[in-house]
Amino acid sequence: MSLVNVCVIDQIAVLEINSPPVNALSAALRQDMIDAFSQVQSDEQIKAIALHCLGSTFICGADIREFDGEPIAPHLPQVIHLIEQSKTPVIALLHGHVLGGGLEVAAACHYRLALENTNIGLPEVGLGVVPGAGGCQRMMRLAGVENAVKLATSGRPVKVTHPDYSGVCDALFAPSDDLFENGLSWINSQLEKQALTPKTTGLNSVDEVPVDWASLKKTVARAAKSNPVPGQLLEQLANEYQLPTLEAEQNTRELFLELRQSVVAKALRHAFFVEKKMQAGRSKNAFRIEQTAVIGAGTMGSAIALCLADAGFEVVLLEQSQEALDRGMGRIKDEYAKSLAKGRINQQQHDARIALISASCDYQSLAQTDLVIEAAFESLEVKQSIFSKLDEVCKAGAILATNTSYLDIDVIAQSTTRPESVLGLHFFSPANIMKLLEIVKADKTSDEALEQMQQLAKKLRKQAVTVGVCFGFAANRIYTRYGREVQQMLLEGAGIEQIDTAMREFGMAMGPLSVQDLSGIDIGHNARSQYPQPEYDKGYFKVSAALVEAGRLGRKTGSGFYNYSAQQPTIDQQVVDIIANLSKELNIESKLFDAQTIQQRAILAMICEAVKVIDEGIVSEKDAIDLIWLHGYGFPRAKGGPMFLAQQWGVEQLQAQMSELRDSQGEKIWPPLDLAKYLA
């Protein structure tokens, strides 16, 4: 059966694409489009061709699943040229998402009509490729060079109503209008006026408007982070934007074909599909969470309340004292005021979201709540006492979640008579920004409660991973192992700045030691102190412990790994001496490090702990690890995640490197692992 239905209404041929879920341009669809266009273009009775898509969206781009293999004919440029060169005018009816190859198809049509809430974009750079079928060139002619360059190098879609892109569409309809009916009557009215021609805007030369390439270059470099592709695309467009469309299109296509097989493109595709896979899963039960509550109005609690209100939930924010509540509500209002000032929300959204949050010091106000998230002080006694109060006041079926980072949720659940309703919801700081959410399944948590939280995560626009109980769960446990390796390298002679720079160059959002200074060295130290220290591990956060003892807790005390009295953080001889003395005491030999060794050791430590976490069943699959690192700790997306990297490096190389580290640090730190089982 063809993916393109053809029907003729009066003198208009309607080509209706039906390739769910997102009408991606698979080889089969490309072929069916060619067949359908060829069929109607030769019919002299037909005065116009309308291209319309069934489902929730127009064509959302090339079929990314094809990118792992060789390009399959017919190729997209063939479809596009057939449309552009049609003697019968072609009109695209746009709704939903018009992305990548979808926008390339739309731009080759002679007219575009859209619902006002349609998104248009060239997101290819986010997949490590560039628009491969003339999208940049045609958008330059429809929206101006600079706007087209911004669209393609940022990868970020815009609404079709964006003033910079007003030249793209010939008519817009209200979102509630019937696109098909309105589109056909627009075409009919133009036919009556004999105003429809096959105008190939896409082949005109570009407007002679000056372009500020230098400032575009700066913006692209800042936004692209570790992804080299936006910079490559910008360079090509800057050099070639005045070439005739077809010549420039061919050159960009060559770059597309070259990049398609690059490791960066593979890593970015991996990240895309991991996100989709981890979000997938049909819900068996209807979502039943309406009223929510957060206990604790500190930084984390307030940010969780923001998250819930952003998604439209009513929230009761509960604290022990009015002063603490006022501080929390103040934080929330400040945050919303900032969003309003930056134009992220409008006044109406601002007021509506604040109105959703109410403050209380009385546990009785939680009686009708469907979900309580506890974000109080990180102490087992405090949490046990809160959960036993919740058990008394909350209605049957309410889900009781803790935001603990390290504590044993099985023990917390025992302070209630309903352990099946107790679980962990581990947000990452700042909770209203970081995408990762660990849903922690305790021993007795019911499947229904977990499933409700997976649905909640989607509503909060979080990337959720379900994990089991252990110290630090999956994310912090692996992060701790990374931090431990960094401390060991400090003791072996790697410099503080050298480590931070190496990891930033690798692509991490921040260096690990700057992160510790920012979050407070005492936070992790206090959490670790509640558990027995691994005596066999010479390097286990000894430097952090010594800094805490010296009162250097990080930025908040003006000094930690760095000093913060000057404008830029500086290295303090006191810290250098602390590290040198510890190395001597522990009998650790000093050696020279380079950036690559630091990066490799840090990633190997992540991989080592990740494999243990998978082996113990704390997470169900290796892709969960990549999702955790991409969305919880700013791992460079263009590198795919630690497990993607592990696969690139290969079992043999990993075994050799880990065995060397095992020889120097011992089997307990670098245990022999069955890497092949997880990386095959």
Q: How far apart are CA 637 and CA 268, in angstroms?
A: 6
- Contact window for ligand 3HC (CB under 6 A) among 95-103, 171-179, 192-200, 308-316: 95-103
Closest to 80 (Cα-Cα) out of 110, 122, 121:
110
Bridge-partner residues for 358, per DSSP? 316
99 binds ligand 3HC (CB under 6 A): yes
Closest to 174 (Cα-Cα) out of 93, 95, 116:
116
21 binds ligand 3HC (CB under 6 A): yes
CB of 127 to ligand 3HC, least distance (A): 5
Which residue of 60, 184, 224, 259 would you call a contact of ligand 3HC, by CB under 6 A? 60
Nearer to ligand 3HC, 70 or 589 (CB): 70
Which residue of 3, 22, 265, 604 would you call a contact of ligand 3HC, by CB under 6 A? 22
Closest to 630 (Cα-Cα) out of 523, 536, 531, 507:
507
The C-alpha angle with vertex 581 and arms to 579 and 583, in degrees rounded to 5, equals 70
- Contact window for ligand 3HC (CB under 6 A) among 122-130, 473-481, 484-492, 606-614: 122-130
Torsion from C-alpha of 27, 29, 30, 36, nearest 10 degrees: 150
CB of 137 to ligand 3HC, least distance (A): 12
Nearer to ligand 3HC, 65 or 288 (CB): 65
Quote the strand ranges of 389-433, DSSP E.
399-402, 422-427
Q: How far apart are CA 399 and CA 289, in angstroms?
A: 9
622 binds ligand 3HC (CB under 6 A): no
Side by side, the strands of the sheet bearing 171-173 are 4-9, 12-17, 48-53, 90-94, 111-115, 171-173
> Considering just the CA atoms, what is the radius of gyration of the chain in Å?
28
Which residue of 101, 128, 483, 642 would you call a contact of ligand 3HC, by CB under 6 A? 101
CB of 284 to ligand 3HC, least distance (A): 17
Amino acid identity of residue 314, one-letter, is: E
CB of 75 to ligand 3HC, least distance (A): 9
- Contact window for ligand 3HC (CB under 6 A) among 100-108, 512-520, 622-630, 656-664: 100-108
SS3 213: helix
Bridge-partner residues for 293, per DSSP? 316, 372
Q: How far apart are CA 403 and CA 368, in angstroms?
A: 21
Nearer to ligand 3HC, 30 or 441 (CB): 30
Nearer to ligand 3HC, 448 or 621 (CB): 621
Which residue of 43, 65, 166, 334 would you call a contact of ligand 3HC, by CB under 6 A? 65
Q: And the tokens for 53?
A: 């898509």
276 binds ligand 3HC (CB under 6 A): yes
Q: How far apart are CA 330 and CA 487, in angstroms?
A: 38
How many residues make up the chain in this entry? 680
- Contact window for ligand 3HC (CB under 6 A) among 93-101, 164-172, 228-236, 462-470: 93-101
61 binds ligand 3HC (CB under 6 A): yes
481 binds ligand 3HC (CB under 6 A): no
Q: Which of residues 130-169 bind ligand 3HC (CB under 6 A)?
A: 131-133, 135
59 binds ligand 3HC (CB under 6 A): no
Size of the site for ligand 3HC (CB under 6 A): 24
Residue 16, burial from CB neighbour count under 10 angstroms (0-12, 13-18, 19+): middle
Q: Which residues bind ligand 3HC (CB under 6 A)?
A: 21-22, 24, 60-65, 76, 97, 99-101, 104, 123-124, 127, 131-133, 135, 276, 280
